[in-house]
Amino acid sequence: MPLICLVRHGQASATASNYDMLSSLGRAQASAVGQELARRGLRDPYLVSGTLTRQRDTARIAAEAAGFQGPVHQDARWNEYDHLALLGRYAPPRNKERSVQDLLDHALMAWMKDPAADGGGTWSAFAEGAGAALAELPAALGRGRDAVVFTSAGLLAAVCGALLSLPYEGVVALNRVAVNASITTLVVGGAGATFLTFNEHAHFAGDLRRMRTYR
C-alpha cells in the first residue's frame, strides 16, 4: 500500500522582516529530514509542496539531500493559514504572562468556532481544502509508489484531526506540538488514507536534539 509522508517545513525566520523564509537552522533541518526520508527507502516518491517559500525551500533542500530526482509539484491547498492575521483578529491583548503560543492557541480556537470568519476564510474551508488535496493524491501515485508532501503544522493538525475525528481542542493540541521538519505518515488503502504516525522526529534525537524546534 502507498505511504504518504507529510513533512512540516523547517524553522522559518520569525525574527526577520520576511517570516516566510527558512532560517539557517531551518535549512539544516530540511537537509536532515531529507536524509531520514532517504533512509526509509520510499518507492519512487511523488513530491508535493505548498506554494509558500518556506515549504518550497524545505522540499528542494530535502529532495537534494535524499537524492530524489522527480519534480516537486505545487498545490496551494497545502499552504498554512496566516498566523499573524489570526493573532490580529482573534487574540486577546498580550501581557507578560501569556506567551505567543498561548495567544496563537486562543486565536486558532476562536477561528475554528467562527462560522463566518472575515478576511482569511473559515477554518472549515481551510481544513476541507487540505482534505481534498489529500484525497486526490493517491490517484497520482498509481501502484508501487509513495508520496512526500511538504507542508505546515496547521495542515498536519487539520488532516490528522479529521482522520482521528478529534474535537477542536485536539486539533489545537496537535498544532502546538508539531516539530519543524518532522514526518507524519499515512497509509493509503481501499478506503482512502489512514493515520499511521504523527510528528516523528527521531532524526533530531541524541546529539542532534539541539535541532529540534517547534516554531
Residue 156 has pLDDT above 90, yes or no: yes
* Grid coordinates of 52: 509558500
| Average pLDDT for 164-190 | 95
CB 178 within 8 A of CB 153: yes
Report pLDDT digits (tens) over 97-132: 678 888 899 999 999 998 876 666 899 999 999 999
Q: How confident is the model at residue 174 (pLDDT cuts 50, 70, 90)?
A: very high
| Average pLDDT for 147-168 | 96
Residue 209 has pLDDT above 70, yes or no: yes
pTM of the model: 0.93
State the pLDDT at residue 97: 65
Residue 6 has pLDDT above 90, yes or no: yes
CB 56 within 8 A of CB 72: yes
Architecture category of domain 3-80+125-211 in CATH: 3-Layer(aba) Sandwich (3.40)
Residue 89 has pLDDT above 90, yes or no: no
The Cα-based distances of 22 to 36, 86, 145, 176 in angstroms read 19, 21, 29, 19
Residue 65 has pLDDT above 90, yes or no: yes
DSSP characters over 148-207 = EEEE-HHHHHHHHHHHTT--HHHHHHHHHHPPTT-EEEEEEETTEEEEEEEEE-GGG-GG
